[in-house]
Amino acid sequence: MASIFDVAKYILNKCGKMSTWKLQKLCFYSQAWSLAWTEEPLFQEDFEAWANGPVCPELFQLHKGLFTCSEADIAKGSADNLTDDQKDTVNIVLQDYGQMEPYELRELTHKEDPWILARKGLAEGAYCNNIISKESMGAYYGSL
């Protein structure tokens, strides 16, 4: 199975340097739509419902301290580990979400059930490391 690092490398290879916020959200949507369309995750790593939207802690550790990152900044993974079908999923996500600004992606995730449910009962901006379940992602995006 591919890893989030493989997906991040693929996104950065296709799109070039971008903000770490945007990279996290594009990886999130790649996972979400894979779950919706195929009922299979692209990768096993989880996302947590952080104040600024979904974040994968393992990916965060690689770009921690950076505002923007490029393919060279992600020390793990390879885009070559993705199948053609997985690349197709990511390509559709990039087509639909790739032109959005990081703050737009943040706002979008804040209006969608997976992030909202994982943060249930917490004040806006409150610290949270609750996992956004793959089940909630698949169910929500699969219903759209």
Q: In this predicted model, what pLDDT tens digit does every residue of 79-94 receive, in sequence order? A: 999 999 999 999 999 9
Residues of the chain with pLDDT under 70: none
20 within 8 A of 99, measured Cβ to Cβ: no
Q: pLDDT value at position 16?
A: 97
Backbone angles phi, psi at 123, to 5 degrees: -70, 155
Question: pLDDT value at position 65?
Answer: 94
What does the pLDDT read at residue 64?
A: 94
pLDDT at 63: 95
Tell me the C-alpha distance between 35 and 102, whole Å. 22
Grouping H, G, I as helix, E, B as strand and the rest as coil, residue 50 is: strand
Question: Do 12 and 71 contact (CB within 8 A), yes or no?
Answer: yes
pLDDT value for 133:
98
pLDDT at 22: 98
Q: What is the pTM of this model?
A: 0.97
Determine which helix (DSSP H) or strand (DSSP E) holds 27, and give its type and residue range.
helix 20-38
Question: Residue 4 carries which side chain, given as an amino acid letter?
Answer: I
